[in-house]
Amino acid sequence: MTRIAVVADCHIGNHRQYGAEVVAGINYRCRLALEALRNALLIADDHKCEHVVVCGDLFDSSKVEPQVVFALMTLFSESNARVHVLCGNHDINSNAPADNALSALAFVPNVTVYEGSPRVVDLGVKCLFVPYKNEQGRDYIARAVRGSPDVAAVFFHAGVSDTNTPAFLKNTQDSIDVDDIEALLGETSARLFFAGNWHTTRSWRVKDARVYQCGTLVPTGYDDQAAAFVHVYDGRTVTKHNAPGPRFWSFDKLDAKAIADAALKSTCAFVRCTLPLAEVQSAKDLVEGLLLSTGASVIEVVPSKREVSEQREAALVDAARVAREDEVRNAVAAYVHNMPLTASVDRAALLSLVMDALDGKT
């Protein structure tokens, strides 16, 4: 029976944050992402998967350095599996043919790139690949599914929403609701749906079908702290396997044990501790020792956004007050300078007395 491994949202590229040194066109963050993808391919190999599917956003940007593309071509060429890569929203510039970052990968013998129109491919089971398009997700995915009713599995790049999805994410262009997928079940034999795009790993049982939001293989920042997984379909069931890679961790205190535990769960742990403003400097003095004792790669100590916002607001109020006071003093000085005085009155002495009065000194 055919075995298929599925990942999504690798976001490979030269990320600026913590990018560090660039060697041969590839920085530190990019090397970590490539290593995470290598680990995923090894997991697929360990489970004897003949195929690996990337459900979009292989790259972080459609404008990717040639050295990064070459590194991926080399990595895929070394895989024992056939690799299937869908265009995601980060990969493409437009819906025009080849106007995306993935096209060069098609020259690797064991790689198939899916762009533009949906395609049905027999991988031992009939699979429908639906590349991302700059159109409403639920509409073009539904058209693709209705146009290929006799498939077993569907792979696409769109977030899957449900009743628990925040309102600002529902009905976005790059999403489809789980109810929309349920409505399609009467028009297709597909009972497996794999989605990329949104970075949290989730799954739904919809009647006799299963829907999997694969999540991100490589988290991209502190607002993206999801665990990473490889989904493996063995012809009967889908299992989920932890995929080693870089991770971002946020804490509200400088806890050495928690940071050490985070480092053990990551090939590279980026840690941010948000503390009260009064504690930030003393905590920063401890960072160097914690880097050595915990194994974290980065420990960043920052004040809480609320406190920073409050301080900024107070500074703006003070600046406005000072500006108003300066306007008053300048107006008074101009008035004293121009007011008619007898020759016996010292204008400078008078101005000094008036300014003292403004300052509350008299």
Write down the domain spans for the chain: 4-244, 248-303, 314-358
Assigned token pair, 183? 């409505």
Assigned token pair, 199? 């970075």
pLDDT digits (tens, 9 = 90+) for 257-299: 999 999 999 999 999 999 998 899 999 999 999 999 999 999 9
Closest CA to 268 of 47, 39, 89: 39
Q: If you search the block for the tokens 């020792």, which residue do you land on?
A: 289
CB 175 within 8 A of CB 184: no
Give the mean pLDDT of 120-134.
96
Residue type, 126: K
Q: What does the alpha-carbon distance between residue 224 and residue 249 come to, in Å, rounded to a whole number?
A: 9
pLDDT digits (tens, 9 = 90+) for 199-214: 999 999 999 999 999 9
Give me Rg for the CA atoms of the chain: 29
Does residue 1 surpass a pLDDT of 80? no
Q: How confident is the model at residue 84 (pLDDT cuts 50, 70, 90)?
A: very high
Class of domain 4-244 (CATH, top level): alpha beta
Assigned token pair, 218? 């490589």
Closest CA to 246 of 284, 274, 272, 220: 220
Q: How confident is the model at residue 347 (pLDDT cuts 50, 70, 90)?
A: confident
